[in-house]
Structure 1
Amino acid sequence: MGPTDRHDRLRRWQAASLLAAAPIASLSAADAPVAAPPSPPGQQRVAPSALVEILHQRILAGRSATATLETWCAEHGLAEQARVRAVRVHGQDKPAPPEVMAALGATPQTPLRYRRVQLACGARVLSEADNWYLPERLSPAMNEVLDSTDEPFGRVVSPLGFQRQTQADQTFWPPRGSGDHATVLEVRALLRDNQQRPFSYVIESYLAQALP
């Protein structure tokens, strides 16, 4: 066998080796594990106690509890239409506690009105509130709406450009109480108009139904 024959055989052997190796390399690439895509951030479950604290901070930072709850309802899909409505609770009038009278600068002779409502979004009752307010610091139109409708207080008095001043706040986990009235957050707040005059004192109980 001459040098030319040996060279041709070597080239044919190298070509055959490459062809034999190609399927193995292709199979190895196909069988290699594929990394799973990361889970979307929105699918990460948040513990209920952490949700309570998030709601707590939102309420404290917000100017209006009604507006804050509407945003919360929309973010967590609590109802098809994220609009908070007030449901008046009649026949449960309460005299203003001494701390409420003092915060409002009211005396026993000061005209004072009381309003108890539930704030609901869809079928969920998100909060219950006791509200004592000074009608003389509201416009006649505002008083008429508050007396005759279930419109949320914060929405009615929004033209006053009011600010909330938190007086006390506390979270509860596990919830305080049971059933539909189980409370996860209580906030006591004084509302002041754009002249810094106090005109309303609210005690708000946020319910477990506010959690998604």
Structure 2
Amino acid sequence: MRLHPGLGLLLSCALAPSPVAAEAAWPNTAANRWQAEALIQGLNAEILAARSATSVLERWCGAHHLAAEAKIVAEPVADTPPRQPTPEQRARLGVGPDEKVRYRHVRLRCGDHVLSEADNFYVPARLTSEMNKALETTDTPFGKVVKPLEPYRRTFAAMNLWSAAAAPKEAATLAIPANLFEHRAVLYTRENLPFSEVDEIYRRDLFDFPPER
């Protein structure tokens, strides 16, 4: 996906380091609505084009100073009931009805900010034992754990859940909802072998910084 040159210029300006990172309300002005829309579209496009969503979120966190250290951790969602992949998911992963598929439900957090929430079905037999152990015992994000596989993503569903450009103009501050956009993708190894399916919802905490003036 190729961004318009004007949008790219706005993004380069908006991603410049801000002196303060804050959970700040965005004044509901035409300029801020346009800025928020451009940022969402740009981040959406960057993730769609990337091999790793985690690396994109880490850069975003650093650029907007959301935490003292721009480090993404995967926080397991407590009390998540176990889930089994559907026949359609097994087909996308290229596994039979009896092959083991593990389920992981996490929030990707940078500092105190939850940037996305993800459901992940993955085939443990297609990972190394070290990778499986890391996924079971650490808070390392999936994308970092499987990096040695040189993975790439094929997104089969992408949904915009909010448009800043279409936000009501009456309120004093921009009402940014909890969920901004959603991606569903299959991850493949460098040998084109599918090993994971993810459903990612990107969250309002991405905008916990003051708008550019």
Q: Mark yes or no: TM-score above 0.5.
A: yes
1:100 Cα deviation from its structure 2 partner: 1.5
Q: Distance in 2 between matches of 1:134 and 1:142?
A: 11
**What amino acid is aligned across from residue 37 of structure 2 in structure 1?**
S
Question: Number of residues paired by the alignment?
Answer: 169
**Aligned 8 A contact 1:52 1:171 in 2:** no
- The structure with the greater share of residues assigned to helix is 1
Aligned alpha-carbon RMSD (Å): 2.2
User: Which runs of at least 4 in structure 1 moved beyond 3 Å after TM superposition?
Assistant: 41-46
1:97 to 86, 91, 99: 86
**Aligned 8 A contact 1:186 1:205 in 2:** yes
For residues 113 and 181 of structure 1, do their structure 2 counterparts lie closer, same or farther at Cα, with a shift above 3 Å needed?
Answer: farther
Q: Name the residue aligned to 1:17.
A: none
Q: Name the residue aligned to 1:37.
A: none
Q: Distance in 1 between matches of 2:161 and 2:37?
A: 9
Q: Name the residue aligned to 2:51.
A: 63
**Does structure 1 residue 82 correspond to structure 2 residue 78?**
no
| Larger-gyration structure (1/2) | 1
**Aligned 8 A contact 2:162 2:177 in 1:** no
1:174 Cα deviation from its structure 2 partner: 4.9
Identity %: 42
Structure with larger RCO (C-alpha < 8 A, sep 6+) = 2
**What amino acid is aligned across from residue 97 of structure 2 in structure 1?**
P
**Does structure 1 residue 206 correspond to structure 2 residue 209?**
no
Q: Any gaps of 5 or more consecutive residues in structure 2?
A: 1-12, 17-30, 165-174
Q: Name the residue aligned to 1:130.
A: 119
**Aligned 8 A contact 1:49 1:173 in 2:** no
Give the alignment's TM-score, normalised by structure 2.
Answer: 0.73
Give the alignment's TM-score, normalised by structure 1.
Answer: 0.74
2:178 to 182, 189, 198: 182
Of 88-97 and 73-82, deviating more is: 88-97
1:107 Cα deviation from its structure 2 partner: 2.3
